[in-house]
Amino acid sequence: MVYLRAMYVIFGVTLHYFGYRRFLRSPQKEQTRPKKLVQFLLELGPVFVKIGQILSTRQDILHSRYAEELSVLQEAQPEIACPIIKKQIEHEFSTPINDVFDEIDPNPVAAATLAQVHRGRLSDGTVVAVKVQRPKVEAQIRRDMKALESALAIAKFLFPNLIKRSNLCHLFDEFRKYTIEELDFENEANNIDAFKTQFLNTTFVRIPDVHSAQSTSRILTMDWVEGATMEQALTDFGQSTLKNLTARLVETLLTMFVANGHYHADLHPGN
């Protein structure tokens, strides 16, 4: 099954590669190509959606029309029905959902590649964001990582110089490592705590508290924090506010990258 999946991926990627070449020669005639690539990645599942998210930020190597179309993968993921989410929560805690949360909004506020987020309320009235891992997503990801590994091995055999020059094998190893780590929400909870300590004395950065009693390796419960997306900020805020936000964002990033060495490494606009 893994090798069949690998061959399907190779076949699909090859078709879309030549489709991209045709698009570059005649963008108007081939204008549906970017949307077809997005649909192909959505059909393949979470691993390939993540690859699409990475590509959406790389207008230095990808035509802007493709990058713009791929950017929908940063937020627009298929939603999971609320009964399935509730069942997942009850399975994780081995207890009825009402014993864990007083209230869970049936409508998700966000649906991402690995998880879906719902607004909830604890028994003490605290409003929280409940991040629930998609059912069976771990099995999907591990299967597709094996398929990608097989596809790369075939490509390396057929095009050894190209694969060596592109450094794809190393990139894949890094991608697999951090994607597998993302499946364990306890890692994310630990990172949140580390960031909270890191920005303890920074008044303009707010890190939500993690509620450990309502969290597991597949459920992450945090304080609910109101905010705006970057797109909303660019539309709704005045120039002086945007200038101030930009300065604070740069200071925050430099603090992470230079001063502390502990940083958010998935900074596409959806995050």
DSSP H helices, the chain, are 2-25, 33-44, 46-56, 64-70, 82-93, 137-158, 160-166, 168-182, 185-198, 230-236, 239-254
Q: Which residues pair with 235 in a beta bridge?
A: none
* Contact predicate 264/271, CB 8 Å: yes
Return the C-alpha torsion angle 257, 261, 262, 268, nearest 10.
30
Can you say how many angstroms the Cα of residue 109 is from the centroid of all Cα atoms in its chain? 15
* Contact predicate 118/214, CB 8 Å: no
Catalytic residue flag (residue 266): yes
For 131, phi and psi rounded to 5 degrees?
A: -95, 120
In whole angstroms, what is the distance from residue 156 CA to residue 169 CA? 9
Query: Catalytic pick from 99, 173, 236, 266?
Result: 266
Cα separations (Å) of 114 from 49, 72, 122, 138? 10, 16, 24, 8
Q: Which of these, 131, 105, 226, 227, lies nearest to 187 by C-alpha position?
A: 131
In whole angstroms, what is the distance from residue 139 CA to residue 92 CA? 16
Task: Report the catalytic residues.
Answer: 266
